[in-house]
Amino acid sequence: MALPDKGKMKPADEKCMKVYVMEIEDVVEARELTAKLFSENILDREDREKIDSGETRKERTRRLLDTIVMRGERSFSVFVQALQSRGYRDLAMKLHDTRCIYHNDDTEDLKESLSKQMELLIQRIDTIESEVKMRMVTRNETVSLSIEIKSLSLKMQTISCTLLQIEELSRSSKITEETISDLKDKLKAKDILLELARGQLVELESKLETLEAENALLRSDVKRQDRQIRTLRRAIEDEKLRNEKMQRQAEEDRKKNETTFHRHEKLFEEMAKQQDLITKQREEDKAHMQALEHKLDQQRRQKRNVGKRNFVPRNRMEDGRK
């Protein structure tokens, strides 16, 4: 693999980097860009290891910026491509637009410098022509002057071509500036939407925190209810066991009661039979008593009758004595 380019990047590119250095340090993760820069021969293996070994994100980004500034004129454009390929499109667009502005300023400076050179060349040609008219010159001087005039003419043509190119570049720059202005307006609109999205994101985060808190409360309630349900299930199981035990006890008591009932029923039947026997015996005793009473009554009447036959009234006894 070829060695990386050495030397500083273009002044306009370096200015552009300085404008956005704070945003680059706040947003960019250098580890995401080192692979692209390494593959494009902007960084070597030692540079990549040095950058990736930074302890914090800002430290890694600072190391990256300090390195690519000294990696030649290609480093800026490759850095912008790496930003765009890794999802930093807004930042890459800002760097690209700002670079166009700085390059346009450099073009204006070059145009002004070339215009001054062209004025100096015209003045030089006028001076040479006046010297030729004012004095007689030798053949050698004439040849040298003609050569100088041709050289100056070529330079003027070159400057004219360069000025035409500069004018063309200026027109294209104006078109580019208009495009940049439109892009800036769109970028501002996107920034506004981004701020709105950030506000909505903050609201969503607060709602999410509220929902998480409510979720935590619900989870605690669910856990508490689970414990209560487990307790109730154990109580139900215990109650089922007690009910089964009571049912078995009730069944045993029922069987005992049935046995006792049958035994008592038999006893009642025997007692009823005995009662019937006793009733019959009483009836027989009653009949016997009635017979005895009847007999006694007869005997009493017989005794009364016998006493009446032997009794003599007193009057009759007196009558007999008379």
> What is the per-residue pLDDT across 205-230, written as a single tens digit (0 to 9) for each?
888 888 889 988 898 889 999 899 99
pLDDT at 146: 63
Give the residue from 147, 159, 164, 161 showing the smallest Cα distance to 122: 159
Query: Using CA atoms, how far apart are residues 53 and 47, in angstroms rounded to an integer?
Result: 10
Whether the predicted pLDDT of 113 surpasses 60? no
**Stretch 18-37: mean pLDDT, rounded?**
90
CA 118 to centroid of chain Cα atoms: 68
Q: Any idea which of 48-62, 141-155, 234-248 has the lowest mean pLDDT?
A: 141-155
Q: Coil, helix or strand for 92? A: helix
Residue type, 34: T
Query: Using CA atoms, how far apart are residues 300 and 306, in angstroms rounded to an integer?
Result: 10
Q: In terms of DSSP H, where are the helices of the chain?
A: 11-19, 21-27, 34-39, 45-52, 57-68, 75-85, 89-134, 139-310, 314-321
**Cβ–Cβ < 8 Å for 128, 148:** yes
> What is the per-residue pLDDT across 241-263, written as a single tens digit (0 to 9) for each?
988 988 888 888 888 888 888 88
Task: Show Cβ contacts of residue 198 under 8 Å, excluding neighbours closer than 6 positions.
Answer: none
Q: Any idea which of 34-48, 160-174, 239-253, 260-274 has the lowest mean pLDDT?
A: 160-174
Query: Using CA atoms, how far apart are residues 159 and 115, in angstroms rounded to an integer?
Result: 8
Average pLDDT for the chain: 78
> What is the per-residue pLDDT across 285-311, written as a single tens digit (0 to 9) for each?
888 888 888 888 888 888 887 765 555
Tokens coding 246: 């009571």
Q: How confident is the model at residue 49 (pLDDT cuts 50, 70, 90)?
A: very high
Q: Coil, helix or strand for 163? A: helix
Q: How confident is the model at residue 153 (pLDDT cuts 50, 70, 90)?
A: low
Exposed e or buried b for every residue in 290-315, given b needs 16+ CB within 10 A? Answer: eeeeeeeeeeeeeeeeeeeeeeeeee
Across 11-15, 39-43, 172-176, the highest mean pLDDT is recorded for: 39-43
pLDDT at 307: 60
Tokens coding 270: 């025997």
pTM of the model: 0.37
Whether the predicted pLDDT of 194 surpasses 80? no
Angle between helices 57-68 and 45-52 (to 10 degrees): 150
pLDDT at 261: 85
Q: Any idea which of 53-62, 156-165, 280-289 has the lowest mean pLDDT?
A: 156-165
Tokens coding 305: 């009758």
